[in-house]
Amino acid sequence: MIDFNIADQLAKDLATAEVDPNEAQKALAYLRSKRDLKALFAYLDAIVKNGKVVIRSQQTRRYYEKLKEACRDYLQGMNYSDAAQTLGWALRLLRYYRKVKVHETPESAVEQTEVSSTSPVTEPEQTNAQQVSSSESLSNPTSAENSQTTLKTPKQVGDVFTGKVLEADDEFFRIEVPGYPEMFALLKREAGVPAYRPAKDAARVEVVRVEQVKRKIVLYVKRAPRAKN
């Protein structure tokens, strides 16, 4: 299971250190090939100490030094599956943070919020909640500010929708949630099942889990049967 909070902090540390995502991706590929976190640490140690074949410059060596430190700080103690998924997600965020410059990201956009384990809010409840929030904001500005950091969840477990496949990696397809830019869906790859083509295919999926991470809502989904005519 992905630990999004750890992935986010790991990505920020790597972005601040200006680690090249392509070099970090090689480490993730090695971890996936060995399926052993200790093997990854040994691999990074070996490259930093004596990696002339891999290291092309002092800059590359610095990338691996920072990557080794960050992986030990954030992934130590995880099992292989959790570590691979968390590192994989961190590298996605790393590419984003390198584009926007992590230090320029507004604090409100990265403010940490707890992952909600309560039932998702339905559409009627949203309307009522918004009305209450509006009335409270007149008498309590602080309450209004806090309410802005909580996203509503109109997609619930069991909901079925069709979304465009945006991108893919070795583990997941990322799928848009039509009409909800604050959300995205993750569909796990399955052995023996035809893969989707990013930017070309659409996927019909069913929501199996909902998580709120910072200011994004993540829907974990599975393939859904085709709609009956």
Whether the per-residue pLDDT at 103 is higher than 60: the answer is no
Domain edge (last residue) among 105, 126, 144: 105
- Its pTM stands at 0.50
Tell me the C-alpha distance between 67 and 33, whole Å: 18
Residue 119 is assigned to a structural domain of this protein: no
pLDDT band at residue 227 under the 50/70/90 scheme: confident
Q: Which of 16-20, 117-121, 167-171 has the lowest mean pLDDT?
A: 117-121
In this structure, the answer to whether residues 98 and 174 fall within a common structural domain is: no
**pLDDT at position 37:** 92
Residue 125 is assigned to a structural domain of this protein: no
Tell me the C-alpha distance between 175 and 194, whole Å: 16
Tell me the C-alpha distance between 73 and 30, whole Å: 19
Domain edge (last residue) among 38, 71, 105: 105
Residue 19 is assigned to a structural domain of this protein: yes
Residue 165 is assigned to a structural domain of this protein: yes
Residue with structure tokens 């992986």?
Answer: 71
**pLDDT at position 180:** 84
Residue 149 is assigned to a structural domain of this protein: no
Provide the residue range defining the domain that includes 168: 160-223
Dihedral sign of CA atoms 98, 102, 106, 108 in order? positive
Whether the per-residue pLDDT at 199 is higher than 60: the answer is yes
Residue 53 is assigned to a structural domain of this protein: yes
Domain edge (last residue) among 58, 83, 105: 105
User: Smallest Cα–Cα separation from 187: which of 171, 164, 210?
Assistant: 171
Average pLDDT taken over every residue of the chain: 74
In this structure, the answer to whether residues 12 and 101 fall within a common structural domain is: yes
Residue with structure tokens 């008498």?
Answer: 139
Name all contacts of 44-48 with Cβ < 8 Å and 24+ positions apart: 44/68, 44/71
